[in-house]
């Protein structure tokens, strides 16, 4: 996945779509949008943050029951039928993208009656860990993850590195050229996790940072302009 920070307006359409489709517990988010500022006197920007689906995922290595696993296609998933709620994976993840389900899920009866599936992460279970799953059920059907299709500004681009393409639904790019030309980077590369989520820096931004402040609230505001 590629996330273009120059396009993000903090609309949180990605977050609401993810929460709705995965029936994420109230008060929790698998996609977090942070207000960031790299240094004093530099311009702030919005940074959507999801599971990085690392090639060297520390969460997989510490799980004592193999509940967290990495598929051959690179997607890191959780099997809630195996999860014992030890939260070792949460402690190991340097990106803090996992959440713990403290309570029973609030889902429709038809969802609750389903057999759990790693491909949909439904239904979530009390006492287990949840996170972004890259919507493998959608990808299997040849469709984009919900966060990608929900964003009206094309912030998220998803694709196949072997095919060297990513798309936001409206535009398609050659992945290697995009990363090279736009100076793409990954978070915390020095950790050796080899994330599969790349960021394009917030240059020539489509929207001023201030325009996204209206979508913040008192509990999740990470940065206030002085």
pLDDT tens-place string over residues 2-57: 999 999 999 999 999 999 999 998 889 999 999 999 888 889 999 999 999 999 99
In this structure, the dihedral spanned by the alpha carbons of residues 194, 197, 198 and 201, taken in order and rounded to 10 degrees, is -120
pTM, 2 dp? 0.92
Cβ atoms of 166 and 172 within 8 Å: the answer is yes
Distance of alpha carbon 20 from alpha carbon 28, whole angstroms:
12
> Where does residue 45 rank: exposed (0-12), middle (13-18), buried (19+ CB within 10 A)?
buried
Distance of alpha carbon 47 from alpha carbon 1, whole angstroms:
14
Cis peptide before 123 (omega within 30 of 0): yes
Cβ atoms of 132 and 97 within 8 Å: the answer is yes
Among positive and negative, which fits the CA dihedral 143, 70, 91, 40?
negative
Sorted by where each begins, the domain ranges of the chain are 2-208
Fold held by 2-208: Alpha-Beta Plaits (3.30.70)
- The string of pLDDT tens digits covering residues 145-196 is 999 999 999 999 999 999 999 999 999 999 999 999 999 999 999 999 999 9
Distance of alpha carbon 152 from alpha carbon 49, whole angstroms:
17
- The string of pLDDT tens digits covering residues 132-145 is 999 999 999 999 99
Distance of alpha carbon 133 from alpha carbon 22, whole angstroms:
10
């Amino acid at each position: 996945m590629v996330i273009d920070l120059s396009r993000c307006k903090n609309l949180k359409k990605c977050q609401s779509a993810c929460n709705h489709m995965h029936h994420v517990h109230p008060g929790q988010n698998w996609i977090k949008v942070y207000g960031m500022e790299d240094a004093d006197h530099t311009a702030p920007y919005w940074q959507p943050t999801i599971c990085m689906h690392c090639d060297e995922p520390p969460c997989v290595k510490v799980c004592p029951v193999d509940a967290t696993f990495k598929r051959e296609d690179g997607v890191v998933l959780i099997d809630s039928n195996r999860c014992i709620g030890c939260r070792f994976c949460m402690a190991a993840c340097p990106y803090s993208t996992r959440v713990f389900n403290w309570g029973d899920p609030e889902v429709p009866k038809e969802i609750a009656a389903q057999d759990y599936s790693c491909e949909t992460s439904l239904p979530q279970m009390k006492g287990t860990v949840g996170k972004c799953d890259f919507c493998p059920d959608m990808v299997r059907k040849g469709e984009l993850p919900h966060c990608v299709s929900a964003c009206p500004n094309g912030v998220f681009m998803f694709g196949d590195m072997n095919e060297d393409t990513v798309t936001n639904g409206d535009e398609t790019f050659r992945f290697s050229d995009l990363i090279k030309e736009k100076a793409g980077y990954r978070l915390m590369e020095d950790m050796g996790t080899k994330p599969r989520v790349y960021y394009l820096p917030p240059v020539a931004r489509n929207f001023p940072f201030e325009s996204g402040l209206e979508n913040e609230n008192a509990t999740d505001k990470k940065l206030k302009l002085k």
